[in-house]
Amino acid sequence: MGIIRNIAASLVLLRQSSVKNNHKVIMSRRLHARRTDGVDKNVWVEFTQLAADYKAVNLGQGFPDFSPPQFIQEAFCKAINGGPQMHQYTRAFGHPPLVKSLAKFFSRIVVQDIDPLEDILVTVGAYQALFCAFQGLIDEGDEVIIIEPFFDCYQPMVVMAGGKAVYVPLRPREGSAILSSGDWVLSADELASKITPRTKAIVINTPNNPLGKVYKTEELQMIADLCIKHNLLCFSDEVYEWLTYDGAKHIKIASLPGMWERTVTVGSAGKTFSATGWKVGWAIGSGNIIKYMKTIHQNSVYHCATAAQEAVAHGFEREYELFGTPESYFQQLPTMLHHKRKKLASCLESVGLQPIMPEGGYFMVTDISSVKVDLNDLSTKDELYDFRFVKWLIKEKGLATIPVSAFYSPEHSKEFDKYIRFCFVKEDSTLDAAEAILRKWSQKE
Amino acid sequence: MSIARQVLNCSRFTCRSAHVTCRKTFTTSQHVMMSRHTHAKRIEGLDKNVWVAFTALAADPSVVNLGQGFPDIPPPSYVKEALAKAASVDRMNQYTRGFGHPSLVKALSQVYGKAYGRQIDPLKEILVTVGGYGSLFSAIQALVEEGDEVIIIEPFFDCYVPMVRMAGGKPVLIPLRLDVSRCHADWFLDPDELAGKFNSKTKAIIINTPNNPIGKVFTKDELQMIADLCIKHDTLCFSDEVYEWLVYRGHQHVKIATLPGMWDRTVTIGSAGKTFSVTGWKLGWSIGPEQLMKHLQTVMQNSLYTCPTPLQEAVAQGLLLNYELMDQPECYFTSLADELEGKRDRLADIVEEAGMTPVIPEGGYFMLVDVTALNQDLSHMDEDEAYDYKFVKWMIKEKKLAAIPVTAFVGEESTKDFEKYIRLCFIKQDSTLDAARSILKSWTKV
C-alpha cells in the first residue's frame, strides 16, 4: 500500500513538473467528447477560404450578393430604433410578434390551425432548427434515412446525435436525357428496403439543395405512406419553399393526411428574405414534437436575437396581405431568379457544359464529364474528381463552385463525382463575370 | 405491435374515406403512434426551467420586474448606430465566417490580448457564439461526455447543471459558504471541501466570476487555489466571465486563464449582451488555446454554423471604440460599472429600509436579499416548494414585485441554506428602482 502511494505521489509530481515545463501537456486522458469525432471536416470552411484566397468569382456558397428587399431592411432599421426592449431578451421560443405572424401565415398554407406558442420554435437559422430536431429526437442507435444528394450538415448532425445515417440516392431516370432536376427520382422499392425497426426518421429537402428538385405530390405521398406505415418522423427542410420555377409547385409534406403529427417543417428567413446573415429560422410542427426541440433550444442557445425577429415578423405580415399578388416578394424573387437561372444555363451550355435545370432553389448542378482538363495538382491527387476539378477551377480560372460529391455519403460519392454546383442567386454582374471566364476558357480549347 | 398496426391500418382506411373522420381517428391512434415518438434520452428531465416559469409570471406590465437579468436602461447609442449602419451594407446581411466575423474576432483579439497580456490568435483561439450561453453549450458539448464529472460551485447560473447532464456528464456541486465571523460577511470556498470533490473522473470545473447570483468576485488567491487543483488533477476550467467589466470599488476582476499553467486548460466566456447592455443581441465568445477551441468550433459548425453578421459587425465597432478609451472614465466598461455601483447602493438602502438584509455584491448586477426578517407566513402555499419559490410567487402576485428565487441556482442538498434568499436585478432605470421602493415601503407599513 505504501509503495503504491509513493508511486502515485511521484506520478503526480512528474505530471505536475511536466505541466510546469511544457504547458501544452494536458489531459493525459481523452480531451474532446466522442460526439465531435468524425464531424470536424466541413466543405464550406475549406472552399470559402479557397474562394477568398484566390479572389474568385464566387458562385460557390449559397447566399445572394444583392441586397435584401427594401421593406425588410426598413423593418430591421425600425426595430433597431424601436424601444429599449428591442435590444433585450425576448421570449425564448420565439419573439411573440414573429411566432404569431408565422402561425397566421402558414396556417393558411397548410390548412391547419398552427398554435404560435406550441407549434413553432424560432431558431438561429434553419440550421439550428435541424440541430434541435436531431438532438431532441434522435437517440444512440436510431437510424435516419437521408435522401442523396443532401445538404451536407444532415449527416454530421445525425452522427453527433448518436444516430446512424442510411442513404437513398436520387437517381437520373433511365433512358431519356437528363435535362431537369425533375428527371432525378427516388425508387419507392429502394427507399422501402432501407427501413428497419431502428429507423426513426427520414430527412427530405424540397426544393432540394443542390439539385433543385421540387418533389411532386405523388413523390411526397410515397414517402408519407412509408412514414405512416412504419411510424417514422419526417424532417422536412423547406428553406427554398418560395423559389420554384417553370410552374413547379412547392408541396408541404406536413399537409398530407397523417403527416402533421409526425413532421417537423424547417424554414428560413435568410432564404425567404435574401438576408442569410440574419440567421433567423424556424421549425413548425405538432406541439408534441416541437416541445422536445424546445428543451434542446433552452439548453443550448435559449434565445434568438430580438430585433431581427421583429423585422421578420413585419416581413411576414406584409407578405400575408400581398400573398398571391405581383407585389409579393414571394412572387418577385422567383421571377428575378428565373431569369438568372436561364442566363446561367445558357452560359454553361454555350461552353459545352450540361446543366441540369433546377425546378427550384438557389443552385444549378452541371455535369462536367465532357470537360477534358489536366488536373495536375499533386496536392489534390487523392481526392475525388469533382473536388479536384473545383479546386483547379478556383486556382486556375478564378471561378468558385462547389463539388457535388460533398453532398453524397462516402459509399455513394464515387458514383456522383462528375458534377459541380453553381449558385445563381447573384447580381447579373457576377453572372457576367462568370460567363466571361467560361467563354475565355472554352475559346482556348 | 400488431394491435398498433391494426389501429394504424384502421385509421388509414378511415382517412381515405373522409378527411374529417381522419382527424378524429388520429387522436385515438395518436397515443399509440406517439409512444414510438419518444424524445432522445439526452433531454430526460431537462425540460423544466426557472426562467420559462418566472418570466411568464413577471410579464404582467403592472409588475415591477427586478427578476430576469436584463437592463431596462438603454444601450449606448453608438452601438445601436453601428448596427443600423452595418445593416445598410449589402454584404453585412449575408453569411459571414462561421467561427466569428473577421472584424469582430480581430477586435476581441485586441481587447483581450491586452486583458490577458498575450497574443490571442483571432482565427484559432476565439469562437463567437450565440451569447455567453452558446459558449457554455459549445464548451460543454465539445469537452464533456458520459463518465465525466464536472464541478459546479453553488449558487450557479442555472444552465450549467442541465448542460452538463445533456452532455452525459455528472455535475458535482460544492456550495459557497457564508463566513459571518468577519465584520463583513464573506462567501468562500472551503479549500478542503473543494479538494475533496476532485478525482480522476473530474473533467472540468465551471467557475463564474463575477458570480451570478451572489455577485462574488473571486480573488487571485481563491483562483490560485482552484488553479492548483486543476493542474494537480489535470482538469479543464470553464470560466464564465460575462460580468467581467462590472466590478465595484475595492475589487478587481482576475482572469484565471492568466495564472501560470491555466491558459492551456481554460475556456473563458464573455458576452456582448452584458458588456454593452444588449442582451437581446445574443452574442458571446469563447477564448482559449487552439487545442481546446478547435473542438468548440466543431460543435459550432454542426449546430448553428454562424452567428448573425450585422450584430457581430456592430459589436466589433463598439469594442474598438472602447479599446481606445480603456481605463478612461468615458470607456463604457468603466462608466457602466460606476453607474451600476450607484444603483447597487440605492437598492441596498431600499432593501434595508424595508427590514430585509441585502448581500452587497462585489460585481455583476444582482443582489441577494435575505427575507427572513419579514417573517412572511406562506403556509397556505404549496408545501413541496422551497420557501423562496413560494415567497417570490406570492410577492409577484400580492405585491407586484418580481424577483428570482435563489434555490433555482443550487442543488437539492443546499436548498435549506439558500431558501431565505431572493435575487434582485439592479440594472434598471431609477424609476424602476423607485417603484420597487414604493412597493417595499407600503408593504412594511401594513
pLDDT digits (tens, 9 = 90+) for B199-254: 999 999 999 999 999 999 999 999 999 999 999 999 999 999 999 999 999 999 99
- Measuring CA to CA, how many Å separate A265 from each of A235, A282, A289, A292, A399? 6, 8, 11, 14, 34
Q: Are B43 and A296 in contact (CB under 8 A)?
A: yes
Q: Contact A390/A403 with Cβ under 8 angstroms?
A: yes
- The more confident residue out of A214 and A110 is A214
Neighbours of B264 (CB within 10 A): 20
Report yes or no: A341 and A358 within 8 Å, Cβ to Cβ.
yes
Average pLDDT of every residue of chain B: 90
Q: What pLDDT was estimated at residue A24?
A: 52
Q: For chain A, how many structural domains are there in total?
A: 2
SS3 label, residue B76: coil
User: Chain A partners of B302 at a C-beta cutoff of 8 Å?
Assistant: 39, 131, 153, 156-157, 160
The verdict on residue A29 lying in a domain is no
Give the nearest chain A residue to B232 (CA atoms).
A16
Mean pLDDT of chain A: 92
Compute the nearest-CA separation of A92 from chain B (Å).
8
Average pLDDT over residues A283-293: 97
Tell me: do A170 and A301 sit in the same domain: yes
Per-residue pLDDT, averaged over B70-97, amounts to 95
Total count of residues recorded for chain B: 446
Helices within A284-411 (DSSP H only): 287-298, 306-322, 329-350, 385-397
Amino acid at B21: T
| Residue A266: pLDDT over 50 | yes
Burial (Cβ within 10 Å: 0-12, 13-18, ≥19) of residue B35:
exposed
- Which of A160-169, B42-51, B351-360 is predicted with the least confidence, judged by mean pLDDT? B42-51
The per-residue pLDDT for B22 is: 38
- Residue percentage of chain B with pLDDT more than 70: 90
- Using CB atoms, which residue from A20, A36, A305 is nearest to B281? A305
Same domain, A57 and A133: no
**Same domain (yes/no): A63, A166:** no
B127 touches chain A (CB under 8 A): no
Is the residue at A7 inside a domain?
Answer: no
Any domain includes A27: no
**Structure confidence by residue, pLDDT tens digits, A53-95:** 999 999 998 999 899 999 999 999 999 999 889 999 999 999 9
In this structure, is residue A22 part of a structural domain?
A: no
Of residues B12, B162, B280, nearest to A299 (C-beta): B162
**What's the pLDDT score for residue B25?**
38
SS3 A239: coil
Assign A147 to helix, strand or coil.
strand
Which residues of chain B does A123 touch, with a Cβ-Cβ cutoff of 8 Å?
304
Same-domain pairing of A277 and A360: no
Check CB contact under 8 Å for A19 and B301.
no
CA distance, residue A445 to nearest chain B CA (Å)? 36
Which residue type, as a one-letter code, is found at position B286? S
Distance from CA of A28 to the nearest CA of B (A): 8
- Reported ipTM: the value is 0.92
**What are the backbone dihedrals phi and psi of residue A103, each rounded to the nearest 5 degrees, phi first?**
-60, -45
How many degrees, rounded to 5, is the angle at CA A131 between CA A86 and CA A33? 115
Query: Which of A258, A289, A322 is the C-terminal boundary of a domain?
Result: A322
Q: Are A300 and B137 in contact (CB < 8 Å)?
A: yes
CA B66 to CA B347: how far, in whole Å? 11
Task: Report how far residue A136's alpha carbon sits from residue A36's, in angstroms, rounded to the nearest whole number.
Answer: 17
Name the residue with higher pLDDT: B77 or B445: B77
> What one-character-per-residue DSSP string does B240-284 give?
E-TTTT-B-TT-----GGGSTTTGGGEEEEEEHHHHTT-GGG--E
Residue A346, domain member (yes or no): yes
Task: Please give, rounded to a whole number of angstroms, the shortest distance from the CA of A227 to a CA of chain B.
Answer: 11
Percent of chain A that is helix, strand, coil (3-state, to 5)? 45, 15, 40
- By Cβ distance, the residue of A16, A68, A161 closest to B231 is A16
Lowest mean pLDDT among A6-15, A358-367, B81-90, B289-298: A6-15
User: Which chain B residues in 350-409 lie under 8 Å from chain A, judged by CB atoms?
Assistant: none
Whether residue B282 contacts residue B130, with contact meaning beta carbons closer than 8 Å, is answered with yes
Q: A20 lies in a domain?
A: no
- pTM of the complete model: 0.91
A167 has a pLDDT exceeding 80: yes
Contacts of B98 in chain A (CB under 8 A): 42, 44-45
What is the identity of the amino acid at A270? G
pLDDT at B446 over 90: no
Kindly state whether B21 is in contact with chain A, defined as any CB-CB distance less than 8 angstroms: no
* B302:A88 CB<8 A: no
Q: Is A279 in the same domain as A347?
A: no
Per-residue model confidence (pLDDT) at position A16: 46
Q: Which domain holds residue A102?
A: 70-322
- A77 & A151 share domain: yes
A296 and A359 together in one domain: no
Instruction: State which of A272, A295, A322 marks the end of a domain.
Output: A322
Strand B421-425, strand B149-154: pairing: unpaired
Query: Cell numbers of A245, please?
Result: 420555377
Chain-chain contact of B90 with A85 (C-beta, under 8 angstroms):
no
- Residue B26: pLDDT band (50, 70, 90) is very low
- A11 assigned to some structural domain: no
CATH code: domain of residue A434: 3.90.1150.10
The answer to whether the CB of A153 falls within 8 A of the CB of A127 is yes
Task: Establish if B293 touches chain A: CB-CB under 8 angstroms.
Answer: no
C-beta separation of B23 from B29 below 8 A: no
CA dist B99 and B96 (Å) reads: 9
Cell of A290: 416541437
Whether the per-residue pLDDT at A377 is higher than 90: the answer is no
> A4 lies in a domain?
no
Please state, in angstroms and rounded to a whole number, the distance separating the CA atoms of residues A387 and A365.
14
Interface probe, candidates B30, B39, B83, chain A, greatest A C-beta count within 10 A: B39
Contact A131, B302 (CB under 8 A): yes
Nearest neighbour of B306 by CB, restricted to A261, A279, A296: A279
Q: How confident is the model at residue A3 (pLDDT cuts 50, 70, 90)?
A: low
Same-domain status, A266 and A354: no
Decide which of A268, A298, A322 is a domain's last residue. Answer: A322
Chain B CA closest to residue A311: B87
- What CATH number did the domain enclosing A161 receive? 3.40.640.10
A110's grid cell? 397548410
What is the CA angle A79-A80-A81, rounded to 5?
Answer: 90
Q: Are residues A274 and A150 in the same domain?
A: yes
Q: What pLDDT is attached to residue A193?
A: 98
Q: Are residues A152 and A230 in the same domain?
A: yes
**What confidence score (pLDDT) does residue A373 get?**
83
The H or E element that residue B173 is part of is: strand B170-175
Chain A, nearest residue to B265 by Cα: A26
pLDDT at B260: 97
| DSSP letter assigned to residue A36 | G
**What are the chain A neighbours of B167 within 8 Å (beta carbons)?**
33
Contact B34 A288 (CB under 8 A): yes
Find which of B93, B127, B136, B269 to mutate to test the A interface (most A CBs within 10 Å of its CB). B93
Set of chain A residues whose Cβ sits within 8 Å of the Cβ of B94: 63-65, 275-277
Residues of B in contact with A275 (CB under 8 A): 93-94
- Chain B residues whose CB is inside 8 A of the A262 CB are 33, 37
Rounded to whole angstroms, the Cα distance separating A306 from A88 reads 7
Nearest to A257 among B19, B142, B308 (CB): B19
Q: Is the pLDDT confidence value at B1 over 60?
A: no
- Chain-centre distance for alpha carbon B217: 16
What does the CA dihedral A392, A393, A395, A397 come to, rounded to 10 degrees?
A: 140
**Residue A147 and residue A289 share a domain:** yes
Regarding whether A102 and A47 lie in a shared domain, the answer is: no
Place of cell 444583392: A66
Would an 8 Å CB–CB cutoff place B133 in contact with chain A? yes
Most A CBs within 10 Å, among B27, B298, B300, to test the A interface: B298
- B:38-57 residues touching chain A, CB 8 A cutoff: 38-43, 46-47, 49, 51-52, 55
Query: Phi/psi at B255 (nearest 5 deg)?
Result: -90, 120
A135 and B42 in contact by Cβ < 8 A? yes
DSSP A276-320: GGG--EEEEE-HHHHHHHHHHHHTTT----HHHHHHHHHHHHHHH
Nearest CA in chain A to B148: A33
